[in-house]
Amino acid sequence: MSTPSLPKPKANAPADPNPQVRNVDWQDFREHLATADKEGNRTWIYAKEPSGTWYRRRTAFAWLLIAIMFSGPFIKIGGNPLLMINIVERKFSILGQIFWPEDTIIFAVAMLTFFGGIMIFTTAFGRLWCGWACPQTVMMEMVFRKLDYLIEGDAQAQRALDAAPWTAGKIARKLLKHGVFFGLSFVVGNTLLSYIIGLDSLLRIITDNPANHLPGLGFMIAFTLLFYGIFARFREQACTFICPYGRFQSALLDENSMIVAYDHKRGEKRGAWKREQAIELRREQGQGDCVNCRQCVVVCPTGIDIRNGLQMECVNCTACMDACDNVMDKIGRPKGLIRYASLNGIEKGEPLRFTPRMKLYATMLSGLIGLFLILVFTRAEVETLFLRAPGALFQAAPDGRISNLYTAKVVNKTNRDLPLQFRLLNSGGKVTVLGAANFVAPKEMVTQTSVLIELAPEDRRGATTKLQVGVYSGDKLIETVDTAFIGPR
């Protein structure tokens, strides 16, 4: 999509005292953000409460997502959390499958799959994710914004309350609202924290002596303050100032991507609606269906005018669609002046279609998903590494047998203790785990032990013998490990 050119300086404009800083045209919506003034200070957005079909659909879907988010930490599959991203312990659980740092290749493919999914989804559906499923939008618009309306009233009441002098009533309302916000931020922050450290660890922090869990307590406080700051103060600026997705989408969207779009061909030229005016007379005067009521602007949570075209701040929340549809109903005009459409759909009347670029992205994504599933389902439950003990030479016994000392590092990725045995697969000889008659790999842990391998002269093949060590749990071979056996020349 083309980028609008920068405004040309006026012929008689005074010289810029700082030529490194370009003067901003504050009448141009692309030259500034609605949530910041000329000095960069916060401009508060008082969004009118939306209502309509799309808002009801989003509300139902949001409550489903919120239920999943709050119930997720309590759901376990095979004794493992449904989702846990424990960066501190480098332990990850996805759909009950435990992943460790040794699964780096799986993580790399998963990240490529994730970004590939973003590419194809955004190319086809624009910022549909932002408006319908992003946790920031869901919690802000469907929880905290609703609390605003409940405690302080609609947009006009909120604006009047903020402009009013500080009275006992205003102080009481503000304390009530921010108290509820802080308490809810504590719940939200700790719910998300449980996805990082696990529900069991979070419950220990809550129920145990806080002095025993100072780092965890610090994270609880930090998460609470973070979400309180986002939902009570930062709000939509988290989408426009911090989140890179709005800027990233400009490289992915094209004229066939689905966006929330204003049909300028039908809406222009704008003009106030007169009850006695027939639609035919309105057309003769060159006026379209847009009555310039600005309802699409007053409901926008980021403060933009969707009639100006696609903008980075638009999160596809559909509030403007509902507002416009409500006005069209009142004046007897068809709905959809603002609707889900593509730029080509508006300009040329083309339906949404699966473009060659989408097909290419979809093919790449399908390949990555296939590779990811293969890696996940062929992943060994136990990963073992045999290394010769540092500084240890081979030992020769009187009967001619040669022994090598190894350090075996065993990663048990399951949620159960595994009794393990080591057996040579391609050679005769003896394998002994030192210091343990029965070696058990503890669940979800990395264990290290010393292993002695002895070979008779007829089992060796020169100074270096390649060995295959089978890792067994009972009679089941769960892994094969290659190592080298060193002996005399």
Whether residue 270 sits in one domain with residue 138: yes
Whether residue 412 sits in one domain with residue 307: no
Whether residue 132 sits in one domain with residue 50: yes
pLDDT at position 13 is 44
Of 16 and 117, the one with more pLDDT: 117
The answer as to whether 170 is a domain residue is yes
Whether residue 206 sits in one domain with residue 70: yes
* Cα–Cα distance, 366 to 278 (Å, whole number): 54
Whether residue 261 sits in one domain with residue 131: yes
SS (H, E, C) the chain: CCCCCCCCCCCCCCCCCCCCCCCCCCCCHHHCCCCECCCCCECCCCCCCCCCHHHHHHHHHHHHHHHHHHHHHHCEECCEECEEEECCCCEEEECCEEECHHHHHHHHHHHHHHHHHHHHHHHHHCCHHHHHCCHHHHHHHHHHHHHHHHHHCCHHHHHHHHHCCCCHHHHHHHHHHHHHHHHHHHHHHHHHHHHHHCHHHHHHHHHCCHHHHHHHHHHHHHHHHHHHHHHHHHCCHHHHHHCCHHHHHHHCCCCCCCEEEECHHHHCCCCCCCCCCCHHHHHHCCCCCCCCCCHHHHCCCCCCCHHHCCCCCCCCCCHHHHHHHHHHHHHCCCCCCEEEECHHHHHHCCCCCCCHHHHHHHHHHHHHHHHHHHHHHCCCCEEEEEEECCCCCCEECCCCCEEEEEEEEEEECCCCCEEEEEEECCCCCEEEECCCCCEEECCCEEEEEEEEEEECHHHCCCCEEEEEEEEEECCEEEEEEEEEEECCC
Whether residue 326 sits in one domain with residue 241: yes
- At residue 8, does pLDDT exceed 60? no
Whether residue 399 sits in one domain with residue 482: yes
Whether residue 331 sits in one domain with residue 236: yes
- At residue 328, does pLDDT exceed 60? yes
- pLDDT-derived band at 6 (thresholds 50, 70, 90) equals very low
Parallel, antiparallel or unpaired: strands 464-473 and 476-486: antiparallel
Q: Is the pTM of this model over 0.85?
A: no
* Cα–Cα distance, 262 to 269 (Å, whole number): 13
The answer as to whether 17 is a domain residue is no
Average pLDDT over residues 383-402: 86
Whether residue 452 sits in one domain with residue 369: no
User: Per residue in 445-473, pLDDT tens?
Assistant: 888 899 999 998 888 888 888 999 999 98
- The angle subtended at Cα 420 by Cα 417 and Cα 421, nearest 5°, is 170
The domain boundary, picked from 348, 379, 410, lies at 379
Whether residue 165 sits in one domain with residue 302: yes
396 pairs with which residues across the strands? 402
User: Per residue in 112-143, pLDDT tens?
Assistant: 888 888 888 888 888 888 899 899 999 999 99
The answer as to whether 122 is a domain residue is yes
CB distance 368 to 112 below 8 Å: yes
Phi, psi of 42, deg, nearest 5: -70, 130
The domain boundary, picked from 379, 408, 434, lies at 379
* Domains of the chain: total: 2
pLDDT at position 15 is 47
Whether residue 281 sits in one domain with residue 134: yes
- At residue 275, does pLDDT exceed 90? no
CB distance 186 to 206 below 8 Å: no
Whether residue 323 sits in one domain with residue 224: yes
- Read off the CATH number of the domain in which 448 is found: 2.60.40.10
The answer as to whether 27 is a domain residue is no
pLDDT at position 230 is 92
The answer as to whether 21 is a domain residue is no
Can you say how many angstroms the Cα of residue 488 is from the centroid of all Cα atoms in its chain?
Answer: 57
- pLDDT-derived band at 30 (thresholds 50, 70, 90) equals low
pLDDT at position 21 is 45
The domain boundary, picked from 344, 364, 379, lies at 379
The answer as to whether 102 is a domain residue is yes
pLDDT at position 1 is 44
The answer as to whether 37 is a domain residue is no
**Ramachandran assignment for 474, one of left (phi > 0), alpha (psi -120 to 50 degrees), beta (any other):** left
The answer as to whether 6 is a domain residue is no
Of 90 and 8, the one with more pLDDT: 90
Residues spanned by the domain of 364: 44-379
pLDDT at position 163 is 93
